[in-house]
Amino acid sequence: MRLLLISNSTNAGEAYLQHPKEQIGTFLKGVKKVLFIPYAAVTFSFDEYEKKVQSKFSELGIEVESIHHSKFPKKSVQEAEAIVVGGGNTFRLLKMIHQFDLIEAVRYKVLSGTPYVGWSAGANVACPTICTTNDMPITEPDNFGAFNLVRFQINPHYIDSHPEGHAGETREERILEFLEMDPYVYVVGLREGTMILLENVKLSLIGSKPARIFKKGLPAKEVNSGEDLDFLFE
């Protein structure tokens, strides 16, 4: 199984998909066309999303074909060279994945070795559930179950800050609430500009910032690029 799970598409002050561009190109080396799943888009069209992603993937020599054009989405998944899932609203994304009955089709395809790239919401749906998304539930999926390609949960765009004068929960406190309900799973707080690579049965953190790892009953810890992440398979 080959996964590239990216916290965010755009770093502040940078062009769209600029920070993960080199890693995506390396990961998808030899791939001529990817199947793009744009369902997380809400305030702009799927056509616009496809065009936006194509503009960056063209720099890598890769064609982008969005699944929303397909009359037979499952067949498109089965025939894909690689699958790319964009960010946006995770609830909208999962609702449409359920609507087109794509959970098992994508899961089987990726478990069979087809490369999977997802950023933000696209990283969330690689997890067992979407319960560690940051998004507002603007629509209701059939359930919270996602592709279940990894055993841990990801919280993309993870931040440590607590703005002055803000009396609400921090991101860490929200994750600790989740762990009260699901105490047996790890949660990876994936900071912006970083990503997780799964290749050759090895998990790696890529980027200049550490990831923050949470599990019920254990102190939260920071893991840096190059350090062992294999415990997340437990």
Question: Which entry of 7, 19, 76, 135 is annotated as an active-site residue?
Answer: 135
Question: Which entry of 7, 9, 66, 120 is annotated as an active-site residue?
Answer: 120
Question: Which entry of 157, 182, 204, 225 is annotated as an active-site residue?
Answer: 157
Strand partners for 119: 6
Strand partners for 191: 158
3-state SS of 77-91? HHHCCCEEECCCCHH
Q: Which residues contact 18 (CB under 8 A, 6 or more apart)?
A: 10, 11, 56
In sequence order, what DSSP letters do the residues of 137-152 get, joined into one string?
--S--S-SB----SSS
Query: What is d(CA 53, CA 65) in angstroms, rounded to the nearest whole number?
Result: 10
Contact between 96 and 46 under an 8 Å Cβ cutoff? The reply is no
Whether 157 is catalytic: yes
Torsion angle of the four alpha carbons 139, 42, 121, 115, in this order, in degrees rounded to the nearest 10: 120
Strand partners for 158: 191
Whether 98 is catalytic: no
Q: Which amino acid is at 153?
A: Q
Strand pairing report for 187-191 and 83-85: unpaired
Whether 120 is catalytic: yes
Residues with a catalytic annotation lie at 120, 135, 157
